[in-house]
Amino acid sequence: MKRSKDKAAALLKRTPNREFSLDADGFIGALYEPERDEFPGKTVVMFGGSDGIYNLTKLIAEQYAGRGMTVLALAYWNEPGLPDGFEKVPMEPVEKAALWLRGHGIEKVGLWGISMGAELALLAGSLMPELISCVTAVCPTNICSQGFVKKKGVQPVECSAFSRRGEELPWARLKLSKTAILRDSLRKRSVCLRSCYEDAVLHAPEETQIKVENIGGPLLLISPEYDVMWPSELSAEKIRARLKEKNFAHPCKCVSYKYASHMLVPIRSSSVKMFRVERKYPEQCWKSDMDAFEKTLAFWKEVW
């Protein structure tokens, strides 16, 4: 983990325009303002996944700021003062960041998250429609997951991954198993937790499914055609079906890629090639990463 953090830190090219701390602001964040604002009145709050590498989130934020979007990179776990595992991770940092932006003249606040960050983005968007007006979920899931910690592998915890205002959110039980993860990872030659999530994604109780229909603006879902880490493409299908059933009032766009991994980000050096598809088809995966980047920017400009 430390080597990955150091690697991401070494790639950072600019100093944030402003940094936020838990003590002073109630959240840990870094604000990146573009030289030329191509999205006036809009800011995206961005967070990463279960890798827990805040510097990687800042690195992705730099790419979007370089194309004209104001971005607030947010840490929600694995930093001093924040949880060190997915055990009732509080959603308050997202809310406080959005409130700060709205209080400083930003008319539209959007969220961008990947993997567990996509789960957080969808949850936050559905619970805070008065603050959040657009959600981009990369490699999403349609459920609020069971909690887990990364200690000698992935260990399940008998609680929700997320909480709000001191109450854990209803959660779907996963089939987390060291044996299954090792077996599937060897078979796929990639880190693979897919079988741990499939049943929950397809058959989770209604109360544990994210109420995406409550999101207060357009929704963009991006995923590989087949995600070995978890079934994000199945989740996107479930989300789209739910939105249709609930007569969602805003646009929803789904984008998928044959050659893409769970690290679908515009950072070529961000991954240590954990996924077989990256190793086998590096140029095709990079093309997908960059296409998703361009489609996200177009969505923010034309739909949001």
SS3 304: coil
Domain extents in the chain:
2-143+211-302
Sheet holding 162-164, edge to edge: 89-90, 162-164, 167-168
Per-residue pLDDT band at 7 (split at 50, 70, 90): low
Rounded to whole angstroms, what are the CA distances from 66 to 42, 71, 72?
15, 10, 13
SS3 227: coil
Q: Are 50 and 22 in contact (CB under 8 A)?
A: no
pLDDT digits (tens, 9 = 90+) for 100-141: 999 999 999 999 999 999 999 999 999 999 999 999 999 999
The pLDDT score that the predictor gives to residue 15 is 93
Class of domain 2-143+211-302: alpha beta
The pLDDT score that the predictor gives to residue 87 is 97
pLDDT digits (tens, 9 = 90+) for 25-80: 999 999 999 999 999 999 999 999 998 899 999 999 999 999 999 999 999 999 99
Q: Are 43 and 51 in contact (CB under 8 A)?
A: no
The percent of residues in the chain predicted with pLDDT above 90, rounded, is 83
Question: What is the token pair recorded at 52?
Answer: 């827990």
CA distance 203 to 198: 8
